[in-house]
Structure 1
């Protein structure tokens, strides 16, 4: 049982267990590697290493409480899922479309991705692709939308900004992390493209109707 495994931990390990359990509950995803702006390089994530060491007891604990902790050793992803489909985050439309677009960029560039399974891009590239796909209302977006979308996805370790400063109004250099694969699968890519095309067509139809109404 998880309690027996927990009792066998040292005092330090118990403290790390509590800290990492709370981190996973808050952030959902954890990745093996993180970019360190101060050193301008990607380094192993010490939290991921400790969570891997404590994985059996963390997994068993979360199972008892109705959560499923998974670890993908190939891509270096740890994810926490509620088996009752509770505690889901509801994000706004722009953030959802920003996420979808990041997934498309990841899919297009994953073969050229680094050995850390990260894809480098920037805010402007994502927004321009959204515009190209017809996902922006009247082809425009606000600074607030961009910052909030990136801040949300950054909190859940889906993207990471490469600068050590706060999220910028002018945009940031970004890393799309492999955790995005856990959110939108390869099958999800196909479904997503159909949905995006439908949204684009509907948006064009609505714009055309508005023009007719104004004539």
Structure 2
């Protein structure tokens, strides 16, 4: 049982267990590598290392409470999924389209992807691709839409802002993280054009597999 294993942890490990469990509940995804703007390089994520060490206990704990914790060691992704399909994060239409466009860009750049499994792009490149696909209302978008979409996706470790400063109204350099593969599968890519066509005429809010905050 997870609690028996938990009792055997050190005081420090118990503290990390609690912190990381709460982090996963809030952020849904965790990736093995993160870009450190202060050093201008991608480095191993300490939280991912600790979570991997405690993975068995975390997985058993979440299973008891109705969650499935998964880890992909190939791409370096940890994800938390509700087995009852509850606690889904509702995102607006623009954020949904921004997410799907990021996935398309990731797919197109996969052959050139680096050893960290990240794809570098920027806000303007994503918006321009959305425009080319006819996903923007009258070909336009607002600063508020762009910033809110990026903040939401960054909070869930789907993209990461490369600058240390706040989100810029004019756009930012961003990394598309491999966690995006867990949201939109290869099968999803095969159906992408159809889905995007449907989203292009659907003004309703959409849902992803993440949790509501």
TM-score with structure 2 setting the length: 0.93
**Change beyond 3 A, Cα 1:90–1:198:** closer
Deviation at 1:17, TM superposition (A): 0.1
Alignment of 1:88-107 (within 5 A): 88-107=88-107
Do 2:97 and 2:199's aligned partners in 1 also have CA atoms closer than 8 Å?
no
- 1:32-90, Cα deviation, whole Å (9 max, x unpaired): 00000000000000000000000000000000000000000000000000000000000
More helix as a share of residues? 1
Larger Rg: 1
Paired residue secondary structure (1:43): strand
2:151 is equivalent to residue 144 of structure 1: no
Deviation at 1:197, TM superposition (A): 3.2
Deviation at 1:199, TM superposition (A): 4.9
Larger RCO: Structure 1 or Structure 2 (Cα < 8 Å, ≥ 6 residues apart)?
A: 2
Paired residue secondary structure (1:69): strand
Q: 1:40, 1:20 → 2: CA distance?
A: 25
Paired residue secondary structure (1:101): helix
Paired residue secondary structure (1:163): coil
Q: What residue number does 1:194 align with?
A: 194
Q: What residue number does 1:59 align with?
A: 59
- 1:92-138, Cα deviation, whole Å (9 max, x unpaired): 00000000000000000011011000000000000000000000000
Q: 2:81, 2:107 → 1: CA distance?
A: 23
RMSD of aligned C-alpha atoms? 1.0
Dislocated runs of 4+, deviation >3 Å: 197-200
Paired residue secondary structure (1:148): helix
Paired residue secondary structure (2:197): helix
Do 2:121 and 2:175's aligned partners in 1 also have CA atoms closer than 8 Å?
yes
Do 2:31 and 2:157's aligned partners in 1 also have CA atoms closer than 8 Å?
yes
